[in-house]
A and B are shown apart, each in its own frame.
Chain A
Amino acid sequence: MPIILDQSEEVITIRLLGEVDISCAIELRALLLTALGSKKKLRLELEETCELDVTTLQLLWAAEREARSCGVKFTVEQPLPQAVSRMVADAGFEKFPLPANS
């Protein structure tokens, strides 16, 4: 399973490992919904991520939007791995997880 969820009193950390693509999309959405529902801070770690696809990107984007609207703090650990940065740039996202035009 390339998705790991760590929970503490205040923070939920989601770590994505290796290739995270459409095959993990249903699972990732469920975890994000759980995390957002808990109203805890949500932290995303991509340190060990090799690849993301657009289904993952749009889920993270939707999660970030949902977090903002319901007052949940959403952070992405920086710096991003090179492969992820390149993928994000190729997909037209200037500042992950926000697209260039947002």
Chain B
Amino acid sequence: MIDKFKQAFLEEARDILVELESALLELNEKRDDLELVGRAFRALHTVKGSGAMFGFEELAAFTHNLETAFDAVRNGQLRITGDLINLSLAAKDQIKAMLEQASGGPPVQQAVSDEILAQVRRLTGKAEPSVVISTQAAVSDTVPATSTVAQGPTRDWRIHFSPGPDFMRSGANPLLLLRELKQLGTLHVNASMAAVPPIAELEPERCYISWELSLTTAVAREAISDVFIFVADICDLAIDPVAQAVPDPALQVVNLPPVTQPEKTQIVVADKNATKPPPWGRRASDTPDNASSIRVPAAKLDQFVDLVGELVTVQARLGQLATRHEDPEIASVSEEIERLTSALRENSINIRMLPLRATFERFRRLVHDLARDLHKEVELTIEGAETELDKSVIDQLNDPLMHLIRNSMDHGIESSERRSVSGKRSAATIRLSARHSGASVLIGVSDDGGGIDAAAVRARAVEKGLVAADAALSEAEVFSLILAPGFSTAKTVTDVSGRGVGMDVVRRSVEALRGNIEITSKPAEGTTVTLRLPLTLAIIDGLLVRVGEAHFVLPLASTLECIELTRQDIARANGKHVAIVRGEIIPYIRLREYFNMQAEAPEREQVMVAETEDGRYGFVVDQVLGDHQTVIKNLGRFYSHVQLVSGATILGNGAVALILDPNRLVRDAIRTLPLIPRDSRGELPRTESKAARRAACS
């Protein structure tokens, strides 16, 4: 059980380090913001105190030094400088490495720790090495009694602290908490033994003692609660302010007229309506955070979603059975299970949805460090950070975004001098944005740098033999050459980028997520790289279709309508693959031909019209079977090169159906079939008049 709580500490500590980094980077921008100093201090204080409590003495001792520096900042003895921020960030990285080591990661480099500590001491003017913190003397041994006490008016607090049954077995130690509280001010401790049973009935590993504490301190309730942050779930805690004894001028006794009967009635009613506070205030276990969210390991969540996927597959089998047996009772149960499965599926997908904020915020540090290394002034702006995306997609976004930002910082953004000459602000901007677009999320990385030199890209592509010298390429096609393996126009290879591996990695990563990349750029104005990613990789709403004996799934989000296609319609189009839907010409792909399937086509076929990135296109199938909750299964490494399908799904009868990717299918068909491509606005070519085109199809 102790391991379980240590694990919980490691996870919480990682979150706190993210908060610390965020506070430090903001502090770099607003160096006089005491609230930010407080945030950084609290994060360090919590990591230190809790680290010591769970036996991470080295981590606690290391963190203590940095905490001392921020305490000096709080007390006005030290100023926030770029050096202190950089040093603090390096220290935060080292603390993270210590956490990783505790989780089985590589050992931390002691020399790095020593160097950081030496620099911290130089900054704080404390020459003496820090005292090593022991688990039993976590805080009070190492921190001067007054060091963490905030300046300002004090107030009295009454604290009820009662460890729960598993408190001691979790590895927590009430004494360390009491000692940490003592640091915050003047503490009077009263142990209550009322609950201790006779020794013969006493469970030796359980703490029966509870404490009533009086604390006089200048710190806020939040700082007091922070002491108990890692044990809030396993203890009963109430923190209440004690009424001030100091007379309040506003409450001075004055001569007032007597209260009338109607006024008395009003007072009584108001009193009845007032919410009575509980004797000890709100318990820790009643706090909104505890009540509304729980921490679940990602692996358990993945397992849950996998099981829901299996359930969806079994439900499809049940549906087929019900149809085959034509039994109304089975059909009724099947429908009910379908409804419940659908709701469960929605819920499980929603549980996995996370806002992109944490992912985006991580890049503040990258931009900060790269700007320092490249001697450029760069601001990162974040938009749409609340946009949610499946956790499994988010997990794989880090590398592509990192490559894109590094490229922008290194190649896109000019030096401050050059920007000034061009009349630009010396500080460049990188914009990280996210927004929903149908069943996809668009993530953009934009910079206001020099833009991509299309001619240079083309020349380099010709030189590398990627395109013919006389190839007719649109601007978008030229920019997409950047994504080719080994492509780079950078004249120098730096530590940051220029080796020509980054953008290829980005492309492969995004395609592995069933997404795609679009690049736009204007000379001297900047570049935007947009990643279009699916909302989820687990289960989608699909439309099940049949061609011959084969089944396919089209994503429902991209399908618009279904129309009939007769042999006469085909004949009327003079062999051209177009259908006319309410006067609009819709080019189509006959899946039978496209996949070279030999089965005889029925008299009447169906055209599923879908909205694709290249405009509206139709997909001709034999039969549309209806909606299908599609559990996406990977095709595996052997078929990983197949780009036209985004996976496969198992049908109720055990057969496998390929999930088609309409966008890639259309792009491939435009290249390989006599299919009419639309222009960038989704329009068909203007080379023929509308009348001529109608004539061609009639």
Contacts and interface: CB of A to CB of B under 8 A. Distances in A.
Interface of A: 19, 22, 25-26, 28-29, 32-33, 36, 51, 53-55, 57-59, 61-63, 65-66, 87, 90-93, 99-102
B191 A93 contact: yes
A93 to B, nearest CB: 6
B168 interface: yes
B182 A90 contact: yes
Contact of A55 (B193, B205, B211): B205
Query: Among A36, A54, A65, A87, which residue has the most Cβ atoms of chain B within 10 A?
Result: A54
B191 A91 contact: yes
Contact of B204 (A25, A66, A100, A101): A25
Query: Among A26, A33, A61, which residue has the most Cβ atoms of chain B within 10 A?
Result: A61
7 contacts: A54-B174, A55-B206, A58-B208, A66-B199, A90-B179, A99-B192, A101-B190
Given A87-B175, A92-B191, A100-B189, A58 B196 contact: yes
Contacts of A65: 196, 198-199
Contacts of B190: 92, 99-101
Contacts of B182: 90
B202 interface: yes
Contacts of A62: 196-199, 202
A58 B175 contact: no
Interface of B: 136, 168-169, 173-175, 178-179, 182, 189-193, 196-200, 202, 204-209, 211
Please provide the 9 A-B residue pairs with the shortest distance between their CB atoms, ordered closest to farther.
A92-B191, A25-B204, A92-B189, A62-B199, A99-B191, A29-B204, A66-B199, A26-B204, A51-B136
Given A55-B205, A100-B189, A63 B199 contact: yes
Nearest to B174: A54
Given A58-B202, A99-B192, A100-B191, A91 B178 contact: yes
Task: Give the interface SS of chain A, mostly helix, strand, loop or mixed.
Answer: helix
A71 B173 CA distance: 33
A51 to B, nearest CB: 5
A2 B173 CA distance: 20
B202 A59 contact: yes
Nearest to B197: A62
Query: Among A22, A58, A63, which residue has the most Cβ atoms of chain B within 10 A?
Result: A58
A59 B189 contact: no
A101 B188 CA distance: 12
Nearest to B189: A92
A55 B168 contact: yes
A65 B197 CA distance: 10
Given A66-B198, A90-B175, A54 B192 contact: no
B204 A28 contact: yes
A3 B346 CA distance: 58
Contacts of A55: 168, 204-207
A79 to B, nearest CB: 20
A66 B196 CA distance: 12
A99 B209 CA distance: 10
B189 A29 contact: no
Contact of A92 (B136, B206, B211): B211
Given A22-B169, A54-B174, A90-B182, A61 B193 contact: yes
A85 to B, nearest CB: 13
B168 A58 contact: no
A102 B209 CA distance: 13
A62 B206 CA distance: 13
Contact of B189 (A53, A63, A66, A91): A91
A101 B190 CA distance: 7
A47 B690 CA distance: 103
A32 B209 CA distance: 19
B191 A33 contact: no
A28 B192 CA distance: 22
A58 B209 contact: yes
A22 B169 CA distance: 8
Contacts of A25: 204-205
A54 B136 contact: no
Contact of B173 (A53, A93, A100, A101): A53
Contacts of B178: 90-92
B168 A61 contact: no
B50 to A, nearest CB: 18
A15 B179 CA distance: 27
A33 B201 CA distance: 11
Contacts of A90: 175, 178-179, 182, 189
A54 B182 CA distance: 17
Contacts of A66: 198-200
Contacts of B198: 62, 65-66
B202 A29 contact: yes
A34 to B, nearest CB: 11
B193 A102 contact: yes
Contacts of B189: 90-92, 100
Query: Among A66, A91, A92, which residue has the most Cβ atoms of chain B within 10 A?
Result: A92
B199 A59 contact: yes
Given A33-B199, A53-B175, A54-B209, 5 more contacts: A55-B206, A62-B196, A66-B200, A99-B193, A99-B209
Contacts of A26: 204-205
Contacts of B193: 58, 61, 99, 102
A54 B168 contact: yes
Contacts of B207: 54-55, 58
Contacts of A58: 193, 196, 202, 207-209
A51 B134 CA distance: 12
A101 B205 CA distance: 24
Nearest to A93: B191
Query: Among A32, A53, A93, which residue has the most Cβ atoms of chain B within 10 A?
Result: A53
A55 B197 CA distance: 13
Nearest to A101: B190
Given A58-B207, A59-B202, A91 B175 contact: yes
